[in-house]
Structure 1
Amino acid sequence: MRLLNVQTRIFEQFYADAPAYAIASHRWAAASETSYQDVQKQRNTEKAGYKKVEGFVQYVKTHVPDVEWLWIDTCCIDQKDSAELSEAVNSMFQWYQKAVVCLAYLADVSDSEDEDEFRRSEWFRRGWTLQELIASKTVIFLTKDWQAIGHKGWNVGDAKSLPPMGRCLTQCVAQITGVPDGVLDDSRRLEAFSKEERLRWVHGRNTTREEDMAYCLFGILDAPIGANYGEGAERARRRLLIAIELMDADAARARPSLNVPFRREPGFIPRPTLAAQMEAKLAPAARVALVGLGGVGKSQLAIEHCYRTHKLRPDTWVFWLHASNAVRFEQSARDLADLLQVSGREDPNADVLQLLRNWLRDASKGSWLMVLDNVDDASFLLEPPPTTAETRRTQRRIDFVPFCEHGSVLITSRSESEALKMVYEDDVVHVMPMNEEEARSLLVSKVKGESADDGILVRALDYMPLAIAQAAAYIRERGPRCSVQQYLKELEQNRTSRTSLLRRHVPLPSRDAEASNAVMLTWQISFEHIYKTQKSAAELLSVMSFCDRLAIQEILIRADGADTDPPGHSSTFEDDIVTLRNFSLVSETPDPREWEMHRLVQDATQVWLEELGRCEEAFDRFIDRLCEVFPTCHFENWALCRTLFPHAIRAAERKPVGRDAQLQWSTILYKSGRYASEQGDFAGALSMATQSMAVRSAQLGDKDEMTLWSKAMVASTYRKQGRWTEAEELELEVVETSKATLGADHPDTLTTMGNLASTYWAQGRWAEAEALGVEVMETSKTTLGAFHPDTLTSIANLALTYSNQGRLAKAEALEVEVIETRKATLGQDHFATLLSMANLAATYRKQGRLTEAEALLKVAVKGYKTKCGLQHPDTILALSDLASIQEMRS
């Protein structure tokens, strides 16, 4: 290979290990082109061809400074030496493949921004430029003034050596030439296309010398037969076709073939753990199933395993059968019989499946690996084909794929239960979403660059390979106007925007043409199958789609003892949850009573329900179930409240339509708002209480008892936020309405009066607080009894008023009474008892009885830590008080 040094203008011959070089591509103008002798002796410098060489040299010096060498066909080949010319024609494809960058000079394009002019360039209609375009890893297209128009491909290994290349034109060039973009990105993908397909790409092109229409295909067809200028176009073409036939025949005789209908993914991200599991299980005579959610990468793992097997064990046949239904399975089997040239298959009455089975069982044919792809419903494989002869009607379709020592089978399926009809449980490999490192690597390889938001985006896409590939295709298609950050912003805008993005179809070369490339639509295929075969499981999935995706408790989704078999009814629950798990739509957690779902699966489920017109119905069922199991906010229910609270937050994001469902929704908000308030989340509590109040007021009226409860909670939250005026106004309204509608001695009325007294107390209005507090206490004793929890609360509140008035003896007496009663009725570690201890400790402190105060607070703090946790407001306050007392004592 002769290269031109761009610094010295001296040629040098390299026979091996050539240095990094740029390579030129251009249209020949025979009369004006320069030659090896011209450049060597620096003569005929006025020729347009010589100036073009100078243009290439200057471009490399200026824009590719790390590269010192250049190859141009006009002057780097001695055209007068026929042997050198023939060698160059045979080697040219490899030379373009090995170049750091190919510079394509389009002499008929003047405007780098004019795409129409670019599309009309004669460069796209020449024979040799097809080979140069496909072979080169990176091509930079240049105008006649040497301005960059854009590029195809991106040579990652040489990225530091490359100049700014402008916009990506791969899709545009694919449209102009008819060459698939995957081939343009990586010439190694040529092997996925037949010789006939590659021959079609040259149609419509022309060459100056007639023989070159055949010679320019040497590299593309991998058939270097040597140039023999003067033989004529027809003879050259005939020699090429004969060489192809001979090579194909030799290859067929020499080694088994790789029959995979998909290209190998050039940016495939290894998943070592899964690969190791597959290798370990896929021993001879084995049947292994890859099981996982649609879009999780099962088929891509299988494709990579096929290519890897073919490379490592070239004496092994590799077959791929589409197995999504009986028609595709049998057609794939017939195609395979044709590929193998199985004897007898031409007979119209032949049983091709039986002939193929006989071939596969014949050990003399060699080892083989067969992939059965997309076996999401195995029922047709477990049935005999309709054309089976009477003598073997019991043979099922799967029986035509025999067990034998020299063959192994790899199955991909979304359903574990379907896979287990064909393999043993130990032969199942569960394919889960990628880890973050793998997911980020996949995104970077697809987008062709890194971003600070890569980690955030792959997390938002649940590390799902198909979703990541889909997002990357969208970003690349719209680049540079769309970035990872912009895509992420649109994805997180709302559920509608998110589902719109993930329902968009994008071309992915390694996906089955009949399978959806949109992750949302892929999952909906599973939903439809489950709905048709096990409706109760589909309805359970519908309810679960509205839950918080983490820790979906059995108590929330399993209904016992109902008459109408709602979703999750105990009679079908176990079967239903197993079905959803087997389709990888839900996954188990370490707690066997809890499940998880991917957020995107929940979104897809809801979109599917909307298309069926059943979304509101499913949401109402979720609301009904949550309303039933969410408990009142008593201390003993806090653990369950804490467990269900995330689901209440999800419920609050969407308001139901029907009246009954709205009332249940308002109850959920009321209960969960009470819990939020008890945990110190006053902003969340106010939001829930306000929504609850609005619904109850609209549906039941302002005087209804449930409406008054919600109003009282809003007022209570105002008080805790220090919004005294708003709290007092609303509490006065609630007290007056309660007295009028429920009566002055009704427990709810007494509670609201106690709340109002607390508001007076918080403002330092001790006399009003005391008067109202005494009234509530005395009435409670009369109507509820001295030991009723509400009575004890009223006594405790009055004690606080006395304490703040400085009437410490009276406060102490009441607080001791409350503590002893609560210990006897509730227990020493009950939250209300602990609260009473903290109040009495505060009174001891004011009395200067620090030792007693410290002892009591230590007991209270220990109980708070155990029952409420370190982050609870009362725990924090008690710890602060204890530290203060200990400091005073020291």
Structure 2
Amino acid sequence: MPITAPRDRYDFKVALICALPLEAECLQAVFDKFWEDDGRKYGKAAGDANVYTTGVIGEHNVVLAHLPGMGTVSAAAVAGALRVSFPNTKLALVVGICGGIPYGENQEEIVLGDVIISQALVQYDFGRQYPGGFKRKTGVRDTLGRLSPEIQGNLAKLETRRYKQRIRNNIATFLQDIQRKLPGTNHPGLANDVLYNSSYVHRHYPPTICDECGKDDEICEVALKTECEQLGCESSMRSTRTNSTSSTKERPVAHFGIMGSGNTVMKSGQHRDRMAQADEIIGFEMEGAGVWDYLPSIVVKGVCDYADSHKRKGWQHYAAATAAACTKALLVEWSVEDTPTGSDASLNPVWHVPFDQIPGFVGRTDELKRLQERTFDPEGRRIVALLGLGGIGKSRLALELLFRVKSEHSDYSVFWIQASDQLTLEKDVREIGKKLEIPGIENDQADVKTLVKQRLSSSAAGRWLLILDNADDEALWVNKANSEGRRSTLMDWFPSTAHGAILITTRSRRVASYLAGREVIELAAMSAYQARNIFMHTLENPEMAGDQAAVSTLLDKLTFLPLAIVQAASYINMTQETVKTYLELMEEPEEEVIKLLSEDFGDQSRYANAENPVATTWLISFEQIRKNNSIAAQFLSSMACLHEKNIPLSLLPKIDSKKDAVDAMATLRGYSFVTKQTQQSGGDHSDVLYDMHRLVHLAARNWLKMNAMLPDWTTTCIIRMRKLFPKTTHKHKSMWTIYLPHAQRLCRETCVEDLIERLRLLAKMGSSFRDEGKFDESVEAYTAVAKWMERRFGGSHAETMMAYAHLGDALTWQGNISAAEVHLKKAFEWMVDTLGKEASVTLSTMYSLAVLHNQKGEKKEAEKIYREVLQINLMARGKNDGRTVTTMGNLARVLERRGEYLEAEKIQREALHLSETNFGKNHPETLVSILNLASTLKSQGDYLESEQLFRAAINTLETVRGKSHHHTLTGKVQLAELLCRTGNYTEAVNICRDVLDLQEATVGKSHRYTTNTMTCLARVLTEQGNYSEAESICREVVGLRGTTMGKNHPKTIRAVKCLAEILTKQDKDSKAESAQREVLGLQATTFGNQNHHRLSAPSNVTSLLSVQGEPSEAKTTSQSVRN
């Protein structure tokens, strides 16, 4: 029932009295209204020196009297004056802090923070002091009178089990409200609730020297002011507690019993126990006895110490808060003398919900059950927040709950408030007030929120459930200081939930936690099963779903988001298209997908004029973030420009304040826009990684486009990325592999295609692609850079030439030798003329040329260039430089191919030693050096050491580089070649087949790495006797190499020779002869007559001719070989 303003001081029936400011502050925190805020001042009687605050708690108009000091004398003076100014006072509550007896009636444990409600008072220091001790007066005239029958009756009611539980629940609820407004009133922690044996005195003990402590139980001033931890009170003297429910759960308990009251502060455990035993006292305080004779009163005080000599920290504020919470809980249950005004119609259930029931609720059954349990928990706070991403189904679930309440709890009133902004909220609140027929609600000047709050806080409203839908705006709901310095929030108008429950739906975790505390139910993403049920239920005709695999793919693309699922089904219903068609539309360019997701659709649970498509549903949240947290808006904008997965914190705008950055990211996580990964990125570069919801990412990009911010933010991100993107080294691999997908996303943006920072970033990416074995991507990146640089700066500019040099190197690794040679030679000539041979970029280009000649089979030219590069590197950088070691390894590989095994081995062992010394045993350069040495040992027939080296290097490479890296796969193929030589054919075949699968997936079938593996597999199969498959593979290799490398390339010739050998083993002599003659012709053309590669082919032809019975031609051919 609403409380009307008192006409004068005669309308106040309840008085509150506090001795300390901290007690009054906590009590004011439970006021539902202050009359002075409405400009109402009630004054006081002539000659009254008291200071008052008037207001409302629950259904009661109350007056709070502030004592000038502690003690019964001060309390008596204030109570006497209060009785004159407020003559109709029926109940005075003396509220504050007290000392507690550790064990009350029936040995019930009392702990710090519990509350004592007096049934009677004993004035423990009123008596006579005799030589033998103090004797308290107990005569009828000397003791305090009995409570009035009305107060006794109310207390008797409150001592019943039902109302004790209600009071305890309400204390917990009101205490949370106080703690939210007054953070200093939080529980100090169970570890600080320490009870010592009553005989153990708080004073100095040896070895500490003190002249006063210990003399006749004296305690010095220093000890009195020192806390137990600093004084060194013995933990062994602590009394063992039973750890009652109240203490372990930190939920205060209200105890009813006799309170001791006096002007003497009780600070002795032994005296405490004697008095407690004599008079059944359970607490000691200092004001109740002064009020008792003037006003019908009850003492309500929170226990802040155990009335002994020990000093405990931090409990006074908490105890004052529990006492204030208990006071409000007591007043909620206290009967009011006057019958509330207003229509009896308010007792009838009221229904204020803007939506009709939607039949066929699907999914979320577990969440709905939890929601019902928490909302109607008789022991809970009954304020619950439903948290989740926009579009995940919060309002739909809340609506389903309402209709179940209507069906199962017909006595409940149900109220739905649109809480997205203050205007709509106040409009709904006014409508609720009209339906409740609250007097004065029609007045334009009425404080409608306070009127409705008062009505719902009263028993006259009956049972009710209140929904606050879309309470997303932190500026409205989270406690912030206003322009006058006062802290305010819309939560201040929340009614007491003693008779009802409040359910809040929100996208903001901060709002959810602030309003509901720990009572937050978070809606996670739906399961695939739940999502499919919603989709099938929304379709007009289930047969329209068609291919179920397509349905699964679509639901996955829609991230199982209910809003997106309903939108997709509605579109299919409207267009009568198939799921496959909708999937195809989802694969269109980004602009088209946004257009698709912007399609409006009918929704029975939508507010009038509200937009519900996926592409627009989060726009209001984005704007709220921009308004309330600019740093969070910056993070959101940056993340929208990057890839939605594995977003490193380091790529986001740099914020000087770590707290501001943490708060900003907490805001985005609170809206469920991003999730923090449980593990950081590894390696030398440790970074926190985040994932952004796929559809939110798309909507955020749309938001940036709508506000013309996408080009600017993309530019900002590219500049930061280019600055942070590291060199392609093993040391930084963990960093650049994380950055690479984001760099790719940024560089695809057409709005920044002419930004020079984009091209310089592309150049860095080209190097990373090459190192990863992604040669096609590397060529694509360098091609774009080279062409742009040539267009911008001209063909002879330094940046253009360097770009073409990088492109030539990438083309070499890709296997496009002819194009690579053109670019490399042109760049090299320019560099030599302009920069000189010793320049770093010139040496890098020379090195690339050597690699190119080696790939062409021009080993001698490759050797020459490698030696020249090595010489310059040794002079300029020394042996320990990485480029020197790499060049040594490649030179040795060329020497091995040319049959110069001893020199090759010598150089490789030196290169391996330098790699281990400078880079470490697990560095990729070291592992490649091991592979090179193992290859040379294999060529020399040292199979045992070679195999050991191969296996060790491959195992480490799989960890360091990965199982699909070209270094790892190349090492495996070399191991397979060795196993073939040692007769381990089965393992060799298995290795080759596994490697082939990976190579075809990464570099393609025509790449030289792949054809090398195919050749190795063909040789092993030949040795196994599987000639048919070997011949088939070998013919494919001949065709692939002929196309990519040319017929005259040494590798093509070797493939033809291999084919001839296989044909010979199958007794296909005529075909073998033809193949060998082809090899003979190709070698003569390619190498000339004196090259060692040429000599084996004529010998093979001679053997074939002899076998075929043509000795004369065989003799001629043999003679040519000898010549």
Normalising by the smaller structure, the TM-score range is: 0.5 to 0.7
Residue number in structure 1 paired with 2:926:
833
The worse-fitting range, judged by mean Cα deviation, of 263-272 and 460-469 is 263-272
Amino acid of the structure 2 residue aligned with 1:613: A
Match of 2:915? Answer: 822
Cα gap change, 1:642 to 1:720, in 2 (>3 Å): same
Trace 1:781-796 onto structure 2 (pairs within 5 A).
781-796=874-889
CA contact (8 A) 1:378 1:419 kept: no
User: How many angstroms apart in 2 are the aligned matches of 1:404 and 1:519?
Assistant: 35
Q: Tell me the equivalent position of 2:495.
A: 402
Which residue is equivalent to 2:722? 627
Deviation string, structure 1 residues 193-227 (Cα, Å, up to 9, x no partner): xxxxxxxxxxxxxxxxxxxxxxxxxxxxxxxxxxx
Residue 570 of structure 1, CA deviation: 4.9
Aligned to 1:642: 737
Give CA deviations for 1:404-428 in whole Å, capped at 9, x if unaligned: 322110111222223333221x112
Structure 1 residues 348 and 745: CA distance shift in structure 2, 3 A: closer
Q: Is the 8 A contact 2:347 2:460 kept in 1?
A: no
Q: Secondary structure at the match of 1:848?
A: coil
Query: Paired residue for 1:42?
Result: none
2:397 to 301, 307, 320: 301
Q: Distance in 2 between matches of 1:348 and 1:651?
A: 55
1:476 is aligned to 573
2: CA distance between counterparts of 1:648 and 1:348? 58
Question: Paired residue for 2:406?
Answer: 310
Larger-Rg structure: 2
Q: Is 1:798 matched with 2:894?
A: no
> Quick check: 1:441 aligned with 2:533?
yes
Q: Secondary structure at the match of 1:403?
A: coil
Quote the residue 2:613 is aligned against: 518
- Structure 2 partner of 1:742: 835
CA displacement at 1:755 relative to structure 2: 0.9
Letter in 1 for 2:501: S
Residues 587-598 of structure 1: matches in 2 within 5 Å? 587-591=675-679, 593-598=688-693
| CA apart distance, 1:819 | 0.9
Read off the aligned partner of 2:429 and give its amino acid letter.
A
- Counterpart CA distance in 2 for 1:421 and 1:337 is 26
Q: Does 1:576 align with 2:664?
A: yes
SS in 1 for 2:641: coil
Q: CA RMSD in A?
A: 2.7
Contact kept? 1:370, 1:410, Cα under 8 Å: yes
SS at match of 2:515: coil
Judged with a 3 Å threshold, the aligned counterparts in structure 2 of structure 1 residues 358 and 733 are, in CA distance, closer, same or farther, namely same
Matched with 2:972 is: 879
Structure 1 residue 875 displacement after superposition: 1.2
Give the match's secondary structure for 1:420: helix
Within 1, Cα distance between the matches of 2:659 and 2:347? Answer: 60
Give deviations 1:444-489, integer Å, cap 9, x for gaps: 111232332222222222222212222222221122xx22221221
Structure 2: which amino acid aligns with 1:528? Answer: E
Which residue, out of 795, 807, 831, partners 1:714?
A: 807
Contact 1:703–1:741 under 8 Å retained in 2:
no
Which structure 2 residues correspond to residues 383-398 of structure 1 after superposition, within 5 A? 397-398=490-491
User: Cα gap change, 1:646/1:658 in structure 2, threshold over 3 Å: closer, same or farther?
Assistant: closer
Q: Structure 2 vs 1, CA of residues 739 and 531 (structure 1 numbering), >3 Å: closer, same or farther?
A: same
- The aligned residue for residue 1006 of structure 2 is none
Contact persistence 2:606–2:612 (CA under 8 A): yes
Counterpart of 1:427 in structure 2 is 519
User: 1:380, CA displacement in angstroms?
Assistant: 4.1
AA matched with 2:739: L
Match of 1:467 in 2: 564
Give the Cα separation in 2 of the matches to 1:523 and 1:357: 31
- From 372, 377, 380, the equivalent of 1:279 is 372
CA distance in 2, matches of 1:833, 1:471: 55
Letter of the structure 2 residue corresponding to residue 872 of structure 1: H
User: C-alpha displacement at 1:348, in angstroms?
Assistant: 6.5
The 8 Å contact of residues 834 and 860 in structure 1, kept in 2 or not, is answered as yes
SS at match of 1:596: strand
Change (3 A) 1:643 1:354: closer
Q: Aligned to 1:421, what secondary structure does the other structure show?
A: helix
Match of 2:777 in 1: 684
Structure 1 residue identity aligned to 2:723 = E
Give the CA deviation at 1:833: 0.9
Q: Is 1:613 aligned to residue 708 of structure 2?
A: yes
Cα 1:632–1:254 change in 2 (3 A) is same
Query: Which whole-Å CA distance do the structure 1 matches of 2:622 and 2:905 have between them?
Result: 65
Q: Is the 8 A contact 2:351 2:415 kept in 1?
A: yes
1:454 aligns with 2:551: yes
Deviations 1:515-551 (A, max 9, x none): 3112222211111111122222212211111111111
Whole-angstrom CA distance in 1 between matches of 2:383 and 2:951 = 64
Aligned-partner residue type, residue 329 of structure 1: L
User: Which runs of structure 2 are paired with 1:514-593 in the superposition (5 Å)?
Assistant: 514-559=609-654, 570=658, 572-591=660-679, 593=688
- Which residue pairs with 1:505 in the alignment? 600
Q: Is the Cα contact below 8 Å between 2:789 and 2:800 reproduced in 1?
A: yes
**1:604-633 deviations in Å (ceiling 9; x for gaps):** 222221222221110011112221222111
Q: CA deviation digits over 1:9-43, x for unaligned, max 9?
A: xxxxxxxxxxxxxxxxxxxxxxxxxxxxxxxxxxx
- Aligned counterparts of 1:647 and 1:688: Cα–Cα separation in 2: 15
The letter for the 2-side match of 1:456 is: T
Cα distance in 2 for partners of 1:496, 1:655 equals 13
Which amino acid in structure 2 is aligned with residue 835 of structure 1?
Answer: V
* Inter-partner Cα distance in structure 1 for 2:445 and 2:929: 92
**1:340 CA drift (Å):** 3.1
Q: Secondary structure at the match of 1:266?
A: coil
Q: Provide closer, same or farther for how the CA distance between residues 381 and 663 of structure 1 changes in structure 2, counting only shifts above 3 A.
A: closer
* Partner-residue secondary structure (3-state), 1:369: strand
Give the counterpart letter for 1:360 in structure 2. L
Structure 2 Cα separation of the partners of residues 267 and 447 of structure 1: 13
Partner of 2:465: 369
**TM-score, normalised by the number of residues in structure 1:** 0.66
Is this contact kept in 1: 2:879–2:914, CA < 8 A? no
Number of residue pairs matched by the alignment: 621
Amino acid of the structure 2 residue aligned with 1:466: L
Worse overlay, 632-641 or 648-657: 648-657
5+ long unaligned stretches in structure 2: 1-344, 681-687, 984-1123
Match of 2:431 in 1: 335
Are the aligned partners of 1:290 and 1:428 in contact in 2 as well (CA < 8 Å)? yes
Tell me how far 1:582 sits from its aligned partner: 1.7
Structure-1 separation of matches of 2:476 and 2:925:
64
d(CA) in 2 for partners of 1:794, 1:427: 66
Which of 850, 855, 861 matches 1:762?
A: 855
Contact map agreement 2:479 2:489 (CA 8 A) in 1: yes
CA-to-partner distance for each residue in 1:625-677, whole Å, 9 max, x for gaps?
A: 22122211112222222222221221232245386xx2322232222222222
Structure 2 length-normalised TM? 0.53
Distance 2:785 2:529 in 1: 44
**Superimposed CA distance per residue, residues 793-842 of structure 1 (whole angstroms, 9 cap, x where no aligned partner):** 22222211111111111211111111111111111211001101101111
Q: CA contact under 8 A between 2:638 and 2:653: conserved in structure 1?
A: no
1:752 pairs, out of 808, 822, 845, with 845
How far apart are 1:740 and its partner, in Å? 2.1
State the alpha-carbon separation in 2 of the partners of residues 656 and 394 from structure 1: 46
- Residue 384 of structure 2 is matched in structure 1 by 288
Q: Percent identity?
A: 30
Structure 1 residue 887 displacement after superposition = 4.5
Q: Which residue of 2 aligns with 1:23?
A: none
Q: CA deviation at 1:496?
A: 0.2
Is the contact made by 1:326 and 1:381 (CA closer than 8 Å) also made in structure 2?
A: no
Q: Which runs of 5+ in 1 are unaligned?
A: 1-251, 387-392, 562-568
How far off is 1:254 after superposition? Answer: 11
